């Protein structure tokens, strides 16, 4: 029944909502160069998507962050549903650090560019470092936040993958706190490779921010391990003991 509902109602509604809000975003981009209006449009899209999909979200820990503050949010990534859940419920002006291929998708790519999201050229390590430097400078200059999925993509089997150090690098360079976000249950409503969104309940946990102002870039590996450990504990993953955690 849930699959039939998703196939006949949720999926077509999601497509229409994406086209509608994507068009609005592009339209507003001609009048607002800050990207703030596009982010508000994206939030409306995310809330609409969750509503038509029959997905409810239990949120815990929002009191730990300041809506006017700047952070680097680090989240696990098990489903395409992670993005709308975060957009709809994290009340901070944030942008995404996303793979460059997403910027080539019609409507989505135009929205991402106009809203100020940052593409990552994974195939070019030198360019990737430059991107991280630009991201840190953007956080400082515009006083915004950044959301990063450090696994580099969705998990194929539902288990946490290794975390890349880019998020920790950016947070330390920008001098802003790192905030672990834990997404639970998104894989059940939209599994990897599935084309039908199922109704259900998911959870978003906002963990305690980790200050970085006393860290140097040499600490990025230790910080990355700590972030993965905290998220692993909440998603029920075994915590892998690494030497850097003991440093």
Taking the domains of the chain in order of start, what are their residue ranges? 2-246
First to last CA, the chain: 52
Contact 202, 57 (CB under 8 A): yes
Residue 242, pLDDT score: 47
Q: Does 103 score more than 80 pLDDT? A: no
**Distance of alpha carbon 180 from its chain centroid, rounded?**
11
pTM score: 0.88
The rounded percent of the chain whose pLDDT value lies above 90 is: 55
CA–CA separation, 84 and 79 (whole Å)? 10
What would be the CATH architecture of the domain defined by 2-246?
3-Layer(aba) Sandwich (3.40)
Whole-angstrom distance, CA of residue 116 vs CA of residue 130:
16
How confident is the model over 44-80, as pLDDT tens digits?
Answer: 999 999 999 999 999 999 999 999 999 999 999 999 9
Mean pLDDT of 93-113: 73
Mean per-residue pLDDT of the chain: 87
Q: Which of 136, 162, 200, 145 is nearest to 76 (CA)?
A: 162
> Where is average pLDDT lowest: 108-122, 196-210, 214-228?
108-122
Task: Give the sign of the dihedral formed by CA 152, CA 233, CA 159, CA 85.
Answer: negative
209 three-state secondary structure: coil
Question: What's the farthest any 2 CA atoms get from each other in the chain?
Answer: 54
Q: Contact at 8 Å (CB) between 77 and 223?
A: no
């Amino acid at each position: 029944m849930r699959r039939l509902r998703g196939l006949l109602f949720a999926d077509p509604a999601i497509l229409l909502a994406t086209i509608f809000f994507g068009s609005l975003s592009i339209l507003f981009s001609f009048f607002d160069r800050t990207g703030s209006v596009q982010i508000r449009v994206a939030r409306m899209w995310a809330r609409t998507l969750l509503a038509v999909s029959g997905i409810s979200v239990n949120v815990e820990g929002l009191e730990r962050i300041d809506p006017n503050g700047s952070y680097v949010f680090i989240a696990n990534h098990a489903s395409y549903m992670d993005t709308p859940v975060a957009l709809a419920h994290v009340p901070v002006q944030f942008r995404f650090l996303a793979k460059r291929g997403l910027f080539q998708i019609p409507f989505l790519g135009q929205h991402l560019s106009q809203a100020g999201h940052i593409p990552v050229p994974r195939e070019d390590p030198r360019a990737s470092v430059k991107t991280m430097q630009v991201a840190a400078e953007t956080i400082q200059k515009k006083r915004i936040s950044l959301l990063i999925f450090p696994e580099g993509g969705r998990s194929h089997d539902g288990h946490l993958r290794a975390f890349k150090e880019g998020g920790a690098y950016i947070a330390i360079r920008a001098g802003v706190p790192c905030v672990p976000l834990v997404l639970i249950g998104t894989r059940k409503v939209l599994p990897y490779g599935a084309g039908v969104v199922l109704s259900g309940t998911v959870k978003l946990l906002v963990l305690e921010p980790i200050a970085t102002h006393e860290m140097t870039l040499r600490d990025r590996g230790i910080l990355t391990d700590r972030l993965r450990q905290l998220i692993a504990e909440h998603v029920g993953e075994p915590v892998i003991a690494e030497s850097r955690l003991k440093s």
